[in-house]
Structure formats: C-alpha cells, structure tokens
C-alpha cells in the first residue's frame, strides 16, 4: 500500500494494490457451543483435525530435516577426510542436498500452521461475539464489558496459539526421537546422556506450569478490570468531565494499573525462569556432549565427522527444548483463556424459544391484555396506561417484564380467544408486537434515517477491502457507505410523522443532510434530550400494537413534554401504550393510571382525577413536579 503525502489528514489518498476475487473460507466455523473448558480445547482440535494433520506432516518434514542436517554433514566430512577430493564425496553431497530439500519442502507448512492459528483464534472470537450480541444475558454472573473484550481478543488468541503450537511440539518431539536413535546407534554413552537427561530436565521444568497458570489467571482478571475502567471512561467521558471526576477516575485507573503490573511481574518471574532454562539446558548438554566427544575422539572411538555431527545434534536440541517450554506456557495460557471463555459462554440469554409451543396460536395483539403473574397487574388493550411509582426502578422492572426481557417471569397474553404465556410464542413475533423503548436512548453510528428505521433500516452493502482501507484512512471519522433499500422501510412522510409526534423535527433540520445526516457513535453528537426524542420517534414509527416506554420525556422541558403527550395520545389512539412516568403531564393524558408500591405490587388504579384524591399519590406527583421546575430553573 502506497500513501501519498498531503497537507492535511483528511486529504490523504491511499492507493491499494489489486485484491483477489475470492478469499479462502477459513472462517467457516461450526456453531455448536458448550461452555466447558475441556470441551473448548478439545472441540477446537476436533474441528480442525484435517488442517492440523497437514500442518503436522509439513512440520515433521521441516523439523526432522533440520535434525538430519548434522548427520548428513558428518557423513560428508568423514568421506572427505578419508578419501580427499574424490568421487567418494558425491554420495555425501547428494545426501546433504536431499536433507536440505526435505527441509525446504517442510517449510511449506507455514501457511497451514497460520490457518490453524486463524481458525483457533477467530472461531472463538466469532462465537463469543455471537453469544453476547443481540441478546440480554442473565445477571447471575454479571459480566463487565472489559471482561468480554479481553476474552474476545486476548483469550481467543491463546486458544489459537495452543492449537498452532501443537504442530511444532509434535514435530520437535519426533525430531528429538530421531536424534536420540542416531546418537545411541553412533555412541551409546553420549546418546544416553542426551536421551535420558533431557527428558528428565524438561519434566522438572513442567512443575512450573501450575503456579504459572494460577498467576496468569490472576493477571488476566486484573487486566479485565482495567479494560472495563477504560471502556467506562470512553462511554462516560462527558459525564466525568461534567462532574469534575477526572482526578478520582485517574486515581482508580492508576491503582488498577498498578495491580496489573504487580500480578504481571509475579507471572513474569516464572516465565523468565522458563525462558532462561530454555537457553541454559541445551547449552549445558552441548558442553557435556562436546567434552565427552573430544575424549571419545582421543580414544579413537569417535570420528571427526561424528564429533561435528554430535555438536550439531546438541545445538539443535535447543529447538525441541524451546518447543516444549513454549508449549507448557501456551498450554497454561490456553487453560486460563478457555476458563474465561467458558465463563462467558455459560451465561445464558434471558430470552429464547425453549418453551415454544409446537403449534403456537396467532394472537390478535390489538385486542390482547397483558398480565404480569407475579403482581397480578393487567394492561388492557387500546388504552394509554401510565405506571407511577415512588421507586422508579420498580416501575421500569414491571415494564421490562411485560416486554418479555426475561423468560423466567410469567407474562400472559389474552386476546379473548387464546390465553398464552409470552415465553411460549416465537420471540420474533413478540418483538414485532411489543416494542420496548427503555430509559436509556440507544443510538448508533450512521445515518439518522437508519437510526429511526431500526430493524427495517436499509442494509449496508459489502465493500471491497481496498475501498474499506481507503475510507478508514480518510481521517474524517465518517464512514461513507452505500445502502440497499429495505422493502419494509418507512418512507420519508412516515419518518417525519413519527418525528413530529416526538417533537424531534428540529433535530433533522440541525443536521447536515437531514434524514441522511450523520449520527456519531452512541449519539454523542446529540444532547440527551435529542437522543431521547429520537428513540421515542423510532418506537412510534414501528406502529406496534403494544408500545412500552420507560421515562420517554424525562430529559425534555414541560412545554415540549405537553406537545409530546398530546401527539402520542392522538397517534396511538387505537393501540395499547404503556408509559412509566411520574410526570403530571403524562398522567393527565392517561386513560388509566397504576400506582405501584416500592415492591412492585399494585397500590392504586384509576384515572388521574380519581387517584388525585389519594394523599400518597398527590405527594408523589407533586414531588416530581417540583423536581421538574427546579431542573428548568437551572
């Protein structure tokens, strides 16, 4: 890739060479997943046995060929010393060339070893991303974002290092066996020194693996916490600066970074010992073998060529020793990585089709009544119902249960003809019928139009790698993409109508490009109120039979909230709408108001006027009204 120099970053032009029309399908991985450390490692070997076999055979040729070079060289030297520069050198020369040729052929195994590593690494990256994306995980074992990122990157690499390291370890072991046989057949004493002594030393070195594995696990845990801190800072940078929390955050990050350093030093001590032994052990055996070999030559029990060959053997012993020690380390890393990966995979999704009926009924969602079996509260069809609670979390939890965010709760749908639990219906059908707009407005990088369309957004067209690289290097921070039209996408008139309901038309006017204007990641280019109104517009645009919104107007002023409440009531007059809010404006427009106790049970039910006779309800509403007025005065 050639880069032309220009005056500014945004003016850089990247010229990329021709790309192949097709790429090898080495990223086609099986999707069966079992959250077990042993299964993770064994399934990786089983899924890649064909590539592993080819890589091992090629590595065998390369390692054994390298091991036979001293043997062929010794024969060549002896023939030259005994016969001089005569035709007697020819067999030894041909033997030497043959060994080198075998070594060269074995080096072709490199691409296969690389493919083995890629499959061992990216298969688990894909599986982890697939497991955690697009679903809500159970909270029995909470997972931080940093832990997931660390497992997807670092720990997946360790699995790849392990499976690719197997090829070298097997090849190095066979090469050592070949050397041992040749040495014993040439000289029993020298051969036994190496073949018996070296395995004993390597076996003793293996006792360092368990403490190394334990220290590596502790270090990985601390690194995951550090990654979580960094990820939290990126997400909440504006908030941290707004409250002046930079010093507190820096101190926490510094302390956690110190923990990572300490645990890393503890693990690196054992790694350093293993590394030192990897160099020292072959050197020690070389010194012993050469000393004994010189004495054998003096006793005329060994030829000069055999002495040179023995020196080559001992020099080559650093390869199997290094392969063995490295394999011990990658095995320890792989066990730690597999344990962390299995922990993430063991955390199941809160929703699935495990309880799906064989022949689920077709529900008329416009006439469906939703009932929460835990509290006995029902939400009736065709009404605007507002839920209010002194503890806002209780109201939000009730709303999320009705939206089927957790199948452990029994939520019933009754349309007059069928009564069925939501968990027994196909999840996509429930998602299409019941739309949840949560308290935190989730926006994504890309066009405003795509953010509003949601699941019906235009599809991104694939781009050549050359175009992707040029776009990434543009420096503008905006990825220009081509889209294909979604057949179910709303037209501009429908988009503007939804924006009008959410009082978000001014946002479109403020963006370059209007509906095709660019929204930064997480909607950071917009204010909190703007993000909230866009999220409400997106939910309204779905025209779902049942819409559940949690605090949809908490970040807007009272005048805007009044217009939103009026428009929402009119727009969804014949549909079921549930809003969790303590706003007097929303409560005034409600057909039904449900007041919850702090434990989530129903306390009062009726119209806003009827509940206004209850002192506890009045106190709760007035408290919210007073807080809103103070917020607007600020």
| 424 and 518 together in one domain | yes
DSSP run (H or E) holding 603: strand 602-606
Instruction: Report residue 163 as tokens.
Output: 């499976």
Closest listed residue to residue 230, CA positions, set 212, 245, 210, 252: 252
| Per-residue pLDDT tens over the stretch 485-535 | 888 888 999 999 999 999 998 898 888 888 888 887 778 788 888 999 999
Cβ distance 447 to 515 under 8 Å?
A: yes
Domain boundary among 280, 311, 346: 346
| Per-residue pLDDT tens over the stretch 240-297 | 666 677 788 888 888 888 888 988 888 888 878 877 877 777 778 778 877 887 877 7
Range among 100-104, 217-221, 600-604 with highest mean pLDDT value: 600-604
Q: What is the rounded CA–CA span in Å between residue 225 and residue 232?
A: 11
Say if residue 82's pLDDT is above 70. Answer: no
Q: What is the rounded CA–CA span in Å between residue 277 and residue 445?
A: 51
Q: Going by C-beta distance under 8 Å and a sequence separation of 6 or more, which residues neighbour residue 172?
A: 63, 319, 320, 323, 324
Instruction: Report the CATH number that the domain containing residue 220 is assigned in CATH.
Output: 1.20.1560.10
Task: Quote the radius of gyration of the chain (alpha carbons, Å).
Answer: 35
Domain assignment present for 383: yes
According to DSSP, the residues that pair with 535 across neighbouring strands are: none
- DSSP conformation class of 363: -
pLDDT, position 270: 81
Of the listed ranges 139-153, 296-310, 586-600, the one predicted with least confidence: 139-153
Question: Higher pLDDT residue, 224 or 447?
Answer: 447
Phi, psi of 449 (to 5 degrees): -60, -45
pLDDT, position 5: 38
Which residues form the domain of 205?
33-346
| Per-residue pLDDT tens over the stretch 119-168 | 888 888 888 887 887 666 665 556 666 677 778 888 888 898 999 889 88
Q: What is the rounded CA–CA span in Å between residue 245 and residue 239?
A: 8
Q: What is the rounded CA–CA span in Å between residue 341 and residue 131?
A: 11
Domain assignment present for 15: no
| Per-residue pLDDT tens over the stretch 394-410 | 999 999 999 999 998 99
Q: Going by C-beta distance under 8 Å and a sequence separation of 6 or more, which residues neighbour residue 84?
A: none
| 248 and 201 together in one domain | yes
Cβ distance 554 to 439 under 8 Å?
A: yes
Instruction: Report residue 117 as tokens.
Output: 């590593």
- The average pLDDT across 595-610 equals 94
pLDDT, position 253: 86
pLDDT, position 20: 60
Categorize the per-residue pLDDT at 8 as very low, low, confident or very high, splitting at 50, 70 and 90: very low
Cβ distance 578 to 548 under 8 Å?
A: yes
Instruction: Report residue 38 as tokens.
Output: 């042993």
pLDDT, position 514: 87
Query: What's the chain's average pLDDT?
Result: 81
Instruction: Report the CATH number that the domain containing residue 598 is assigned in CATH.
Output: 3.40.50.300
Instruction: Report residue 79 as tokens.
Output: 């023939």
Phi, psi of 236 (to 5 degrees): -110, 30
Of the listed ranges 82-91, 332-341, 606-615, 621-630, the one predicted with least confidence: 621-630
Instruction: Report residue 512 as tokens.
Output: 């370059």
| 538 and 621 together in one domain | yes
Distances (CA, A) of 427 to 1, 58, 70, 479, 542: 47, 49, 67, 33, 17
| 375 and 338 together in one domain | no
Say if residue 324's pLDDT is above 80. Answer: no
β-pairing verdict for 459-460 and 483-484? antiparallel
Phi, psi of 520 (to 5 degrees): -70, 170
Domain assignment present for 11: no
- DSSP for 51-93 reads HHHHHHHHHHHHHHHHHHHHHHHHHHHHHHHHH-SSTTHHHHH
| 223 and 264 together in one domain | yes
Instruction: Report residue 129 as tokens.
Output: 């991303």
Of the listed ranges 38-42, 72-76, 383-387, 450-454, the one predicted with least confidence: 72-76
Domain assignment present for 24: no
pLDDT, position 419: 95
| 434 and 325 together in one domain | no
Domain assignment present for 474: no
Q: Going by C-beta distance under 8 Å and a sequence separation of 6 or more, which residues neighbour residue 151?
A: 128, 224, 337, 340, 341, 344
Number of domains in the chain: 2
| 320 and 402 together in one domain | no
Categorize the per-residue pLDDT at 473 as very low, low, confident or very high, splitting at 50, 70 and 90: very low
| Per-residue pLDDT tens over the stretch 35-78 | 777 888 888 888 888 888 999 999 889 888 888 888 877 777 76
| 428 and 301 together in one domain | no
pLDDT, position 288: 80
Residue that has been written with the tokens 């427009």 in this structure: 589
Q: What is the rounded CA–CA span in Å between residue 139 and residue 351?
A: 13
pLDDT, position 12: 38
Instruction: Report residue 314 as tokens.
Output: 């001992």
Cβ distance 319 to 70 under 8 Å?
A: no
pLDDT, position 235: 62
Instruction: Report residue 231 as tokens.
Output: 């990820």
Domain assignment present for 20: no
Q: What is the rounded CA–CA span in Å between residue 527 and residue 176?
A: 67
Adjacency order of strands within the sheet including 377-379: 377-379, 369-372, 411-414, 419-421
Domain boundary among 331, 346, 361: 346
| 257 and 388 together in one domain | no
| 216 and 143 together in one domain | yes
Q: What is the rounded CA–CA span in Å between residue 569 and residue 562?
A: 11
Say if residue 338's pLDDT is above 80. Answer: yes
Of the listed ranges 290-299, 437-446, 529-538, the one predicted with least confidence: 290-299
According to DSSP, the residues that pair with 605 across neighbouring strands are: 594
Residue 627 C-beta-side C-alpha neighbours within 13 Å: 12
pLDDT, position 6: 35
- The average pLDDT across 90-112 equals 85
Domain assignment present for 451: yes
Distances (CA, A) of 478 to 374, 445, 446, 518: 47, 9, 8, 8
pLDDT, position 44: 85
Domain assignment present for 7: no
3-state helix, strand, coil in the chain (%, to 5): 65, 10, 25
| 62 and 190 together in one domain | yes
Residue that has been written with the tokens 């009026």 in this structure: 566
Is residue 38 packed enough to be buried (19+ CB in 10 Å), middle (13-18) or exposed (0-12)? exposed
Identify each DSSP E strand in 428-563 by its residue range: 434-437, 446-447, 459-460, 483-484, 518-519, 546-550
pLDDT, position 3: 40
Question: Higher pLDDT residue, 375 or 75?
Answer: 375
pLDDT, position 541: 95
| 383 and 335 together in one domain | no
Q: What is the rounded CA–CA span in Å between residue 342 and residue 163?
A: 17
């Amino acid at each position: 890739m050639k880069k032309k120099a220009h005056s500014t970053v945004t003016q850089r032009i990247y010229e990329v060479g021709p790309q192949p029309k097709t790429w090898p399908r080495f990223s086609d991985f099986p999707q069966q997943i079992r959250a077990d450390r042993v299964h993770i490692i064994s399934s990786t070997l089983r899924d890649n046995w064909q590539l592993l076999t080819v890589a091992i055979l090629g590595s065998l040729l390369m390692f054994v060929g390298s091991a036979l070079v001293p043997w062929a060289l010794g024969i060549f030297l002896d023939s030259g010393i005994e016969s001089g520069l005569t035709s007697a050198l020819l067999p030894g020369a041909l033997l030497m060339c043959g060994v080198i040729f075998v070594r060269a052929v074995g080096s072709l195994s490199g691409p296969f070893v690389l493919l083995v590593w890629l499959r061992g690494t990216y298969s688990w990256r894909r599986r982890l991303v697939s497991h955690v994306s697009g679903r809500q995980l159970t909270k029995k074992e909470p997972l931080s974002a940093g832990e997931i990122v660390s497992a997807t990157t670092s720990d997946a690499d360790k699995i790849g290092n392990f499976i690719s390291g197997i090829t070298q370890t097997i090849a190095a072991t066979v090469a050592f066996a070949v050397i041992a046989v040749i040495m014993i057949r040439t000289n029993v004493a020298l051969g036994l020194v190496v073949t018996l002594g070296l395995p004993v030393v390597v076996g003793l070195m293996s006792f360092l693996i368990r403490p190394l594995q334990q220290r590596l696990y502790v270090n990985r845990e601390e690194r995951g916490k550090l990654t979580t801190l960094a990820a939290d800072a990126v997400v909440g940078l504006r908030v941290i600066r707004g409250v002046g929390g930079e010093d507190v955050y820096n101190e926490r990050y510094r302390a956690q970074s110190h923990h990572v350093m300490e645990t890393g030093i503890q693990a690196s001590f054992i790694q350093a010992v293993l590394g030192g032994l990897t160099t020292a052990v072959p050197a020690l055996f070389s010194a012993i073998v050469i000393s004994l070999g010189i004495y054998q030559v003096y006793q005329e029990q060994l030829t000069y060529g055999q002495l040179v060959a023995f020196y080559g053997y001992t020099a080559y012993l650093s390869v199997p020793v290094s392969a063995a020690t490295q394999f011990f380390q990658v095995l320890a890393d792989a066990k730690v990585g597999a344990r962390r990966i299995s922990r993430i995979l063991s955390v199941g999704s809160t929703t699935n089709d495990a309880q799906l009926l064989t022949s689920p009924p077709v529900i008329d969602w416009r006439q469906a009544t939703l009932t929460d079996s835990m509290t006995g509260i029902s939400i009736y069809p065709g009404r605007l119902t507002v839920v209010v609670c002194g503890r806002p979390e209780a109201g939000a939890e009730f709303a999320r249960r009705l939206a089927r965010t957790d199948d452990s709760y029994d939520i019933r749908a009754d349309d007059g003809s069928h009564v069925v639990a939501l968990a027994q219906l196909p999840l996509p059908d429930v998602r299409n019928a019941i739309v949840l707009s949560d308290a935190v407005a989730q926006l994504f990088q890309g066009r405003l139009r795509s953010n509003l369309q949601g699941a019906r957004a235009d599809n991104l067209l694939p781009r050549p790698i050359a175009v992707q690289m040029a776009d990434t290097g543009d420096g503008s921070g905006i990825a220009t993409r081509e889209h294909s039209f979604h057949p179910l996408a709303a037209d501009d008139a429908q988009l503007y109508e939804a924006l009008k309901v959410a009082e978000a038309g001014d946002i479109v006017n403020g963006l370059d490009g209007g509906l095709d204007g660019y929204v930064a990641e997480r909607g950071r280019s917009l204010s909190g109120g703007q993000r909230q109104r866009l999220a409400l517009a997106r939910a309204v645009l779905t025209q779902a039979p049942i819409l559940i919104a949690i605090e949809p107007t908490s970040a807007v002023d009272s005048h805007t909230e009044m217009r939103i409440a009026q428009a929402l009531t009119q727009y969804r007059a014949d549909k079921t709408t549930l809003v969790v809010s303590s706003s007097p404006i929303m409560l005034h427009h409600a057909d039904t108001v449900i007041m919850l106790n702090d434990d989530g049970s129903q306390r009062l039910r009726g119209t806003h006027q009827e509940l206004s006779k209850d002192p506890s309800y009045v106190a709760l509403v007035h408290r919210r009204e007073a807080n809103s007025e103070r917020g607007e005065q600020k």
